[in-house]
A = this chain, B = another copy of it.
């Protein structure tokens, strides 16, 4: 078979292999505690379901505009303009079949082959894959442990910038670390972006997934709305991961290019689901708040359970549904420096299934601390407590 050369540069989400192992272990009759995937085991709000089903009944089953239905583009623009203190209108919004499509389309729209792109590592593995697949040079930057949060490692960002750097990817609030940028980090980053004339992808998939405080967008920084594309998704806030609906939000000139890519890639996103999301945005928010209340209880249970384990320490992030505990001491106590060995040993001894730092980009040479990632979006509080007691027993004996 004569596969194109570019496929050699195509990455994947290796976390799916962890799902496979967890499912195989469960199939042998073991109870598995699924902390490995960022899916949500909560129902989509009935407001959204009703809106979509009404649209089907109303005949919204034919094509819709490539950029999405105007009503939804307007509603998203109004929502984001308010939360981001910008003057976005519907011309700044192009609907996508999920959050993820914005990553590839941002790169296709703005990156030439050979351009260098700064991206977070540990980070969502599709950044690295899409940069390299499309002929760019993926330049990682890292994070450091602060007192109660992970912080951008500005040393690695500044070291990574060359005269070939064109784009920067920021994921705030962050997967896998649950990190949230301080305002001072946004300010410092915006300075670098202006100084080096970069364009930015602000992956804000978790912007509305927070339990206290208020999310602040990078685009609030002076001049940044003019050079940033925001990745927006309904997947998390409305528990709609399998519905596939999101948007790219940015300067009209880029949004128009991305809409033209839509014409070529998939014509349009599902028509009636856009009415469902519109109903979700405009309707009563009780169900949406209930999702956050449930996730907050899970966050508390998971953080508490992790920090009760000798050799494990986790921050208590206010947002996302991910935790990135430091397990350096536990791995040393267990006598292994292999992430995969450690992960499999925990799975087979306890049924607790998680991913590790390795599933979120290539390890950076010299990394000394060891981390695993737990997603608490797909597992209830009782199972979380049971899981972490088992993990503690295994860890401490």
Contacts and interface: CB of A to CB of B under 8 A. Distances in A.
A4 B241 contact: no
Nearest to A270: B244
A264 B63 contact: no
B270 A62 contact: no
A266 B53 CA distance: 23
A264 B109 contact: no
Nearest to A111: B4
A368 interface: no
A-B pairs with the 10 shortest C-beta distances? A242-B271, A1-B253, A39-B62, A62-B242, A44-B61, A61-B242, A244-B270, A39-B63, A63-B241, A12-B263
A242 B272 contact: yes
Nearest to A126: B264
Chain A interface, >50% SS class: loop
Contacts of A63: 37, 39, 241-242
A242 B68 CA distance: 11
Contact of A199 (B2, B129, B270): B2
A118 B139 CA distance: 37
Interface string A58-70: 0111111010000
Interface string A293-307: 000000000000000
A110 B4 contact: yes
A199 B64 CA distance: 33
Contacts of A253: 1, 3
Contacts of A5: 112
A273 B263 CA distance: 21
A159 interface: no
Given A3-B110, A244-B268, 20 more contacts: A2-B166, A2-B199, A4-B112, A7-B108, A7-B109, A43-B59, A43-B61, A44-B61, A53-B53, A53-B56, A61-B243, A62-B242, A62-B378, A97-B270, A100-B265, A104-B264, A126-B264, A130-B264, A242-B270, A244-B267
A257 interface: yes
Contact of A266 (B98, B130, B251, B264): B98
6 contacts: A2-B110, A3-B109, A4-B108, A10-B264, A37-B63, A44-B61
A131 to B, nearest CB: 11
A179 interface: no
B267 A270 contact: no
Given A3-B254, A244-B268, A267-B244, A56 B44 contact: yes
A394 interface: no
Nearest to A166: B2
Contacts of A13: 263
A43 B11 CA distance: 40
